[in-house]
């Protein structure tokens, strides 16, 4: 007898509830990953996500083989509704286990699959390996889903009870002789052109890479997180988001590690940096709960009136934004970091999103789609909730009349121009007083910095002050009030 362990967004061996349940049966396991290009419809993984998935699956297979002489991860492609029952019959499995996903199509598919397996006489069990609380059981005082982060976070923080850590097993009994497909045949990595060089340099997909990054962050950076998380020119954030998205580390592992760091270094698990960091883990959780309760979140404004916004069909502006050629250095630095590494600092994500939505008046869904294709941590819940937050149309949204000024944001959070100089090297010789607004420099200052506006670096696509007024007028029309006077 065997137990089928269906890996999905839980590509790890430690703290994996489904794997632990399978091992508790004492039967040999069949670890499987099913690749279905069509399961998510329009939200199938983008290029950067596919690159990461290849590395993560390869790492998981190696981790399994290190613990067994019989085999590793079985790869199958197709519709999970057909692949999983067929593989169970092929291997004689009487039990199928997996960790839950919370995207709308996954919820529907998994429910139908569980019912079908049970109808065939198999035991089908699912577990929570991705979140701190089950969205279907976590409600506000009126019995509805939370739509404001602060009360959500207070309730989650008060209810948090980390379960005991389940380490990765030293040995695994894996059923041998189960044929699988070759990972390379799935063509998840780019070939020509190979645009992934920066991703390879920046990241190590897999459980070991996640553990190393978590350890490095909790040894030092977490304690200053409250002060440095908004400064893109320093290593002040955890960069755990892609590892969490692919389940190479679980949220409880991150939670325990952060609290333990505060206790060991400061004798205070509630140390300010630790608490601020945990609240960001809470925002990830909040986003997942929103998507679960509001499945149209990626495509439609949570506040319907915002779908009446008079968006501009600005193909040239969108292309300049995507390429990091807007003429606003902090925006361009962020977009170039994204293209090079598949990641962008969170403060800068807010700045570039505000610029696209409110300076260029381009529909937030166009930015969401670009991030979806280019981010290694492209998570449907976090991506859609965050874009709607900036647009003012989502839950707990920033006030719609808040329009980030890309110049003052750069001056505040990158005062030395460190971040801009790294990602916009043509401005490296600009003095820090001018680097966030090079068009204000004199001809002599531009000459001294070796910058010719319009050739070496573009002039601004729009005048921010004018663009801000245009955005406020549009929002006021949609909201039926004078937003500009707010």
Least confident of 69-78, 117-126, 259-268, 466-475: 259-268
Least confident of 231-240, 265-274, 355-364, 451-460: 265-274
Average pLDDT over residues 392-411: 89
Instruction: Establish if 233 belongs to a structural domain.
Output: yes
Q: Is 252 assigned a catalytic role?
A: no
Confidence of residue 484 (pLDDT cuts 50, 70, 90): very low
481 has pLDDT over 70: no
Question: Cβ-count burial of 139 within 10 angstroms (0-12 exposed, 13-18 middle, 19+ buried)?
Answer: middle
Kind of pairing, strands 74-77 and 123-127? unpaired
Looking at the fold, whether 57 and 96 belong to one and the same domain comes out as: yes
As a whole number of angstroms, the distance between CA 72 and CA 180 comes to: 10
Looking at the fold, whether 223 and 312 belong to one and the same domain comes out as: no
Looking at the fold, whether 308 and 282 belong to one and the same domain comes out as: no
Looking at the fold, whether 145 and 266 belong to one and the same domain comes out as: yes
User: What is each CA distance from 367 to 89, 216, 349, 370, 388, in whole angstroms?
Assistant: 44, 32, 10, 5, 11
Mean pLDDT of the chain: 95
Residue whose tokens read 């199958």: 76
Confidence of residue 439 (pLDDT cuts 50, 70, 90): very high
Looking at the fold, whether 258 and 288 belong to one and the same domain comes out as: yes
Looking from the CA of 406 toward its CB, the CA atoms found within 13 Å total: 35
pLDDT tens column, 148-165 = 999 999 999 999 999 999
Contact 346, 382 (CB under 8 A): no
Per DSSP, 209 falls in state H
Exactly one of 6, 343, 387, 389 is catalytic; which is it?
Answer: 387
How many domains does the chain divide into? 3
Q: Which of 359, 418, 411, 367 is nearest to 389 (CA)?
A: 367
Looking at the fold, whether 144 and 273 belong to one and the same domain comes out as: yes
Three-state secondary structure call for residue 83: helix
Residue 131, pLDDT score: 98
Look up the CATH number of the domain holding residue 29: 3.40.50.620
Q: Which residues contact 219 (CB under 8 A, 6 or more apart)?
A: 261
Contact 241, 249 (CB under 8 A): no
Instruction: Establish if 484 belongs to a structural domain.
Output: no
Name the residue range of residue 246's domain: 131-163+207-293
Q: Which of 303, 218, 309 is nearest to 265 (CA)?
A: 218
Phi, psi (rounded to 5 degrees) for 125: -135, 140
397 has pLDDT over 90: no
Looking from the CA of 11 toward its CB, the CA atoms found within 13 Å total: 30
Looking at the fold, whether 217 and 103 belong to one and the same domain comes out as: no
The domain boundary residue, chosen from 274, 293, 312 = 293
Instruction: Establish if 182 belongs to a structural domain.
Output: no
Residue 181, pLDDT score: 98
Looking from the CA of 173 toward its CB, the CA atoms found within 13 Å total: 10
pLDDT tens column, 318-375 = 999 999 999 999 999 999 999 999 999 999 999 999 999 999 999 999 999 999 999 9
User: When comparing pLDDT for 486 and 433, which is higher?
Assistant: 433
Exactly one of 81, 173, 181, 280 is catalytic; which is it?
Answer: 280
Confidence of residue 485 (pLDDT cuts 50, 70, 90): very low
Three-state secondary structure call for residue 68: coil
Q: Is 98 assigned a catalytic role?
A: no
Q: What is the chain's Cα-based Rg?
A: 24
Average pLDDT over residues 99-119: 96
Token pair belonging to 276? 């601020």
Question: Cβ-count burial of 313 within 10 angstroms (0-12 exposed, 13-18 middle, 19+ buried)?
Answer: exposed
Q: Is 389 assigned a catalytic role?
A: no
Looking at the fold, whether 120 and 219 belong to one and the same domain comes out as: no
As a whole number of angstroms, the distance between CA 310 and CA 476 comes to: 11
Looking at the fold, whether 216 and 341 belong to one and the same domain comes out as: no
Q: Which of 162, 167, 265, 150 is nearest to 217 (CA)?
A: 265
Looking at the chain, the whole-number percentage of residues with pLDDT higher than 70 is 98
389 has pLDDT over 90: yes
Q: Is 364 assigned a catalytic role?
A: yes
Alpha helices in 38-145 (DSSP H): 47-66, 80-91, 104-119
Instruction: Establish if 178 belongs to a structural domain.
Output: no
Contact 420, 330 (CB under 8 A): yes
The domain boundary residue, chosen from 129, 151, 178 = 129
Q: What is the helix (H) or strand (E) element at residue 124, kind and residue range? A: strand 123-127
The domain boundary residue, chosen from 293, 321, 342 = 293
Instruction: Establish if 402 belongs to a structural domain.
Output: yes
Q: What is the pTM of this model?
A: 0.95
Exactly one of 283, 339, 370, 372 is catalytic; which is it?
Answer: 283
As a whole number of angstroms, the distance between CA 486 and CA 482 comes to: 7
Average pLDDT over residues 91-95: 97
- The C-alpha angle with vertex 244 and arms to 362 and 275, in degrees rounded to 5, equals 90
Confidence of residue 269 (pLDDT cuts 50, 70, 90): low
As a whole number of angstroms, the distance between CA 199 and CA 338 comes to: 10
Exactly one of 364, 370, 372, 389 is catalytic; which is it?
Answer: 364
Exactly one of 186, 311, 439, 477 is catalytic; which is it?
Answer: 311
The CB density around residue 35, as the number of other CB atoms within 10 Å, is 20
The CB density around residue 355, as the number of other CB atoms within 10 Å, is 31
Q: Is 283 assigned a catalytic role?
A: yes
As a whole number of angstroms, the distance between CA 114 and CA 123 comes to: 9
- The C-alpha angle with vertex 355 and arms to 354 and 360, in degrees rounded to 5, equals 120
As a whole number of angstroms, the distance between CA 25 and CA 368 comes to: 43
Instruction: Establish if 171 belongs to a structural domain.
Output: no
Phi, psi (rounded to 5 degrees) for 264: -75, -35
User: When comparing pLDDT for 448 and 191, which is higher?
Assistant: 448
Instruction: Establish if 427 belongs to a structural domain.
Output: yes
Q: Which of 304, 339, 344, 329 is nearest to 405 (CA)?
A: 329
Looking at the fold, whether 135 and 123 belong to one and the same domain comes out as: no
Question: Cβ-count burial of 187 within 10 angstroms (0-12 exposed, 13-18 middle, 19+ buried)?
Answer: exposed
Look up the CATH number of the domain holding residue 439: 1.10.579.10
Average pLDDT over residues 461-468: 97
Exactly one of 27, 123, 186, 346 is catalytic; which is it?
Answer: 346
Average pLDDT over residues 403-420: 98
Residue 266, pLDDT score: 63
Instruction: Establish if 189 belongs to a structural domain.
Output: no
Confidence of residue 180 (pLDDT cuts 50, 70, 90): very high
Q: Is 51 assigned a catalytic role?
A: no
Looking at the fold, whether 278 and 136 belong to one and the same domain comes out as: yes
Looking at the fold, whether 144 and 269 belong to one and the same domain comes out as: yes
Residue 486, pLDDT score: 37
Three-state secondary structure call for residue 6: strand
As a whole number of angstroms, the distance between CA 244 and CA 277 comes to: 14
Least confident of 249-258, 405-414, 473-482: 473-482
């Amino acid at each position: 007898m065997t137990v089928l362990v269906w890996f999905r967004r839980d590509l790890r061996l430690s703290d994996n509830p489904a794997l632990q349940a399978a091992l508790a049966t004492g039967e040999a396991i069949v670890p499987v990953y099913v690749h279905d290009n069509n399961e998510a419809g329009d939200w199938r993984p983008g290029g950067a996500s596919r690159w990461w998935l290849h590395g993560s699956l390869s790492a998981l297979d190696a981790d399994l083989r290190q613990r067994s002489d019989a085999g590793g991860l079985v790869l199958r492609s197709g519709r999970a509704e057909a692949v999983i029952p067929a593989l169970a019959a092929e291997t004689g499995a009487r039990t199928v286990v997996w960790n839950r996903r919370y995207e709308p199509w996954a919820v529907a598919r998994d429910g139908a699959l569980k019912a079908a397996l049970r109808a065939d006489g198999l035991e089908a069990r699912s577990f929570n390996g991705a979140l701190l609380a089950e969205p279907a059981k976590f409600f506000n005082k009126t019995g509805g889903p939370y739509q404001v982060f602060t009360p959500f976070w207070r309730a989650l923080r008060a209810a948090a009870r980390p379960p005991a850590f389940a380490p990765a097993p030293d040995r695994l009994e894996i059923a041998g002789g189960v044929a699988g497909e070759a990972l390379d045949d799935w063509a998840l990595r780019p070939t020509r052109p190979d645009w992934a060089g920066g991703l390879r340099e920046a990241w190590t997909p897999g459980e070991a890479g996640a553990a190393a990054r978590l350890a490095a962050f909790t040894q030092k950076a977490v304690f200053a997180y409250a002060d440095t998380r908004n400064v893109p020119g320093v290593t002040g954030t955890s960069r755990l988001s892609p590892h969490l998205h692919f389940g190479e580390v679980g949220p409880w592992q991150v939670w325990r590690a952060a609290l333990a760091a505060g206790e060991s270094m400061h004798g205070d698990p509630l140390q300010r940096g630790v608490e601020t960091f945990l609240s960001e883990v809470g925002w990830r959780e909040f986003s997942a709960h929103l998507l679960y309760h509001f499945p149209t979140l990626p495509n439609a404004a949570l506040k319907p009136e915002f779908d009446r916004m008079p968006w501009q069909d600005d193909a040239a502006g969108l292309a300049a934004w995507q390429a990091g050629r807007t003429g606003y250095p902090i925006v361009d630095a962020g977009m170039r970091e994204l293209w090079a590494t598949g990641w962008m600092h969170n403060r800068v994500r807010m700045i570039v999103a505000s610029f696209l939505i409110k300076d260029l008046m381009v529909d937030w869904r166009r930015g969401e789609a670009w991030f979806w294709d280019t981010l290694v941590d492209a998570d449907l819940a976090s991506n859609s909730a965050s874009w709607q937050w900036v647009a003012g149309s989502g839950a707990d949204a920033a006030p719609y009349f808040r329009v980030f000024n890309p110049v003052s944001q750069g001056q505040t959070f990158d005062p030395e121009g460190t971040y801009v100089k790294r990602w916009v090297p043509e401005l490296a010789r600009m003095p820090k007083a001018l680097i966030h607004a090079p068009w204000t420099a004199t001809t002599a200052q531009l000459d001294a910095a070796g910058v010719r506006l319009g050739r070496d670096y573009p002039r601004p696509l729009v005048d921010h002050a004018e663009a801000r007024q245009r955005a406020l007028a549009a929002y006021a029309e949609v909201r039926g009030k004078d937003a500009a006077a707010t």
